[in-house]
Structure 1
């Protein structure tokens, strides 16, 4: 059976609109970096907890656990999150032995130039916009902490090659991860707890500390408790040698 030209045109237009409505995915040459602790010593598991604070608030469930149990972590914070969470920044600054504060950008814009959006988030779109995002976050952190950040992790943790090269040329270590604990705070608590508790020695774990209304935070707390009970050793990124790969 053949379609009339008007009907065929309508079908093609509908198909195009459905495709356009789908969330963009990274191009095959865009990069999500892996990062591990290089050559962790034998014995208890050694893991690095890293948290993104993109926007929103602070998950006190996670923060209280870290402070009360003296568990170190590296936090990647955006300028916009810092502006909304001054009290939490004061808490972090009061515990420099626990918290390493690093650059998650100015406005949580992915450092990607070759697609317009990723996972529903508008990308930088140009190297100039990537530079603005990186510099804005760095300036805010230096003003708050008194020292420049060493590490950068962009929104979505995916980079176009040109953006990645530029960020590294500016002197940053770019923070990937080896274990995604909560998939943007979207997973159920039980799943998150299981993922974290199963971490291997040398893992760099990524989770989110800015979604207090999501069940994932409870899973982060439970997973960390299980790791601690097993004798795991927690480190900040600056405490260890790391190894990055694509």
Structure 2
């Protein structure tokens, strides 16, 4: 049986899930090594979530967890946060997916399984949720993940934060799309999504005005 693909939660309750992708590709790791970027871990964003006690779900790549084990332990140690799988090296599972390098079909299953093994020692609220890099998937990719017992999470609110030139477009993208049951896609990869932390307070304020409560993905889908 193919994995279930989830776009959003129930529309009846006034709850939304804030999800944060932690991407790490080979090219990103190389830029870090060369000193071309300072960090792909947005600690200010974590500070805001922690200070305001906002539940969140983090879709973590295996390479990101290995690059930032201290930050991953910090996420795992917060009972309001939960951890999900975002592949090992953020390579594409289909062709023509945002110019990402492609995973060989024979390597798809093991790459995702390897990520679960990489994340498990961090503990915390581990899930069997999986998000495809770029949200790119087809029937072959879903078949490859069928043995792993995952639930595939897409999302219905794409913030566009990796491409934003300031916080306002991120805030506007979220608040113009969000509705009860929404799954919001944001990023915790600072150098690739540098305005997410600036946008987050205004997003939270906008959700409050609409009486939309942020909850973990597990709570939204329960």
- Range class of TM-score, shorter chain: 0.7 to 0.9
Q: Which has the higher contact order (CA 8 A, sep 6+)?
A: 2
**In the alignment, is the contact (CA less than 8 A) between 1:72 and 1:236 conserved in 2?**
yes
Instruction: Look up the match of 2:218.
Output: 238
Instruction: Look up the match of 1:191.
Output: 169
Task: Pick the structure with greater CA Rg.
Answer: 1
**In the alignment, is the contact (CA less than 8 A) between 1:53 and 1:76 conserved in 2?**
yes
Q: Deviations over 1:39-76 (max 9, x none)?
A: 432xxx31111110002521123211110111001100
2:53 to 70, 76, 81: 70
CA distance in 2 between counterparts of 1:35 and 1:228 reads: 22
1:38 to 10, 16, 19: 10
Q: 1:146 to 1:79 in 2, by over 3 A?
A: same
Instruction: Look up the match of 2:93.
Output: 111
Q: 1:232 to 1:204 in 2, by over 3 A?
A: same
- What does residue range 222-233 of structure 1 map to in structure 2 within 5 Å? 222-233=202-213
**In the alignment, is the contact (CA less than 8 A) between 1:142 and 1:149 conserved in 2?**
no
1:85 to 38, 48, 68: 68
1:142 to 113, 120, 124: 120
Q: 1:168 to 1:220 in 2, by over 3 A?
A: farther
Q: 1:195 to 1:229 in 2, by over 3 A?
A: same
Shift of 1:131: 1.2
Gaps of 5+ in 2: 25-38
CA distance in 2 between counterparts of 1:229 and 1:182 reads: 22
1:220 and 2:189 correspond: no
1:49 to 12, 18, 43: 18
1:200 to 179, 201, 206: 179
Shift of 1:154: 1.7
1:160 and 2:138 correspond: yes
**In the alignment, is the contact (CA less than 8 A) between 1:168 and 1:174 conserved in 2?**
no
Instruction: Give the TM-score normalised by structure 1.
Output: 0.74
Shift of 1:143: 2.2
Shift of 1:99: 0.6
Gaps of 5+ in 1: 1-32
Shift of 1:125: 3.2
Aligned-residue CA RMSD in angstroms?
2.2
